[in-house]
Amino acid sequence: MSSTAGAPTGGDVLKAPNVIEYPFSRTTGPVIGAFMTGMREGIIVGIKGADGRVIVPPQEYDPVTAEELTEIVEVGDAGVVTTWCWVNEPLTDQPLDRPFAWAMIRLDGADTDLVHAVDTDGDQAVMATGMRVKARWLPARPADVDTEADGGTSAGSDDSGYRVGHILDIACFEPEGVPE
Amino acid sequence: MSDVTLPASLQGVEPVKSIRTPARLDYVYTAGRASSRFLHNVANKRLVGQRCPVCHKVYVPPRGSCPTDGVPTEEDVELAHTGTVTSFCVVNVAFMGTLMEIPYVGALILLDGSDIPIMHLIQEVPYDQVHSGMRVEAVWVPDDEIGPTLESIRHFRPNGEPDASFESYKDNA
């Protein structure tokens, strides 16, 4: 843990910013690990449920029968918005620093929805249930870039700007058909 | 758990086994009247505690009331810049955000005239020579850096006096 106290301000009664950070990391296990490995490799994977449905992100146990699931399958990195919520004032550490949508996205080949941000250049009128969106990936990390340069305090990926094995290796989704 | 089967695109690549999930809490701390008065005094290079009217103990930093008797503490008591180490900890583990080189010593220091120790660093002495009963004095930052924060005291250091008797700090040992 670290804590940073800023300079006090004010008159008789003092106030000061006080930030507390916990640099947690967690082990993923093989199933979530496969999803995170896919993020780093620039693909999205789910897992075959007991009834053959594809669950994205993959779960370790079937949500209906509770049996262990093992068959990781690749799905598309584009899909359909099934529902969404507009964010007028993004918070620090959210994926975008301008107004955007949190959306449930039914990826091609998936039978469940993935939550992610959709960037429409701040234009809410572009958002619609049923619209097609595709992932905007961070670039792959070049072989000569150190993977451990970051102290591990940043939210999301490691701030390197490259894919590291994190949900924010997808910077966001964007309407399909937007030119690169 | 049984082994998972991977699609071709994930076979033969190094698996991700852990992810970073940092948490951050962003507060504005309001010191309150008692602590603010204490810190304003620190900014003037003074250490001022408060005495309980019932048990007569002197608290530093004062919180405005006595935790034992539940009454307001209103009598200010100016304290010396010297004190006695009641207890200490040699820190051998570097943690995120620390500026200190390890090993270093954090100690509870009973300022002369007070009845509860404050926590601060002991420097200018090898870490393995710090001990309970050691007499220490405050080392302040340069005057132009002093402000309403306990960091205005850079650290404590031995002041050369003989050790205090156990009797003098036994209530805080």
ipTM field: 0.79
* A152/B20 CB distance under 8 A: yes
Look up the domain containing B103 and give its range. 32-172
Task: Decide if B1 is inside a domain.
Answer: no
List B75's β-bridge partners, or say none: B51
Degrees, nearest 5: CA angle B36-B146-A4: 70
Task: Decide if B24 is inside a domain.
Answer: no
Q: How many cross-chain Cβ pairs, A to B, lie less than 8 Å apart? A: 152
Task: Decide if A37 is inside a domain.
Answer: yes
Interface test with A, best of B3, B5, B9, B10 (most A CBs within 10 A): B10
Residue-level pLDDT, tens digit, chain B, 173 residues: 568 999 999 999 999 999 888 888 999 999 999 999 999 999 999 999 999 999 999 999 999 999 999 999 989 999 999 999 999 999 998 876 677 888 999 999 999 999 999 999 999 999 999 999 999 999 999 999 999 998 999 999 999 999 999 999 998 88
- Please give the tally of structural domains in chain A: 1
Tell me the shortest Cα–Cα distance from B8 to chain A, in angstroms: 9
Task: Decide if B103 is inside a domain.
Answer: yes
Are A166 and A156 spatial neighbours (Cβ–Cβ below 8 Å)?
yes
Longest dimension (CA), chain A: 67
Q: Where are the alpha helices (DSSP H) in chain A?
A: 29-41
* A68/B97 CB distance under 8 A: no
Task: Decide if A152 is inside a domain.
Answer: yes
Tell me the shortest Cα–Cα distance from B145 to chain A, in angstroms: 12
Task: Decide if B94 is inside a domain.
Answer: yes
Phi and psi at residue B101, to the nearest 5°: -85, 135
Q: In this structure, what token pair is assigned to residue B157?
A: 């250091």
Task: Decide if A161 is inside a domain.
Answer: yes
Task: Decide if B61 is inside a domain.
Answer: yes
Look up the domain containing A100 and give its range. 28-175
- Please give the tally of structural domains in chain B: 1
Of B23, B35, B40, nearest to A24 by CB-CB distance is B23
* B36/A14 CB distance under 8 A: yes
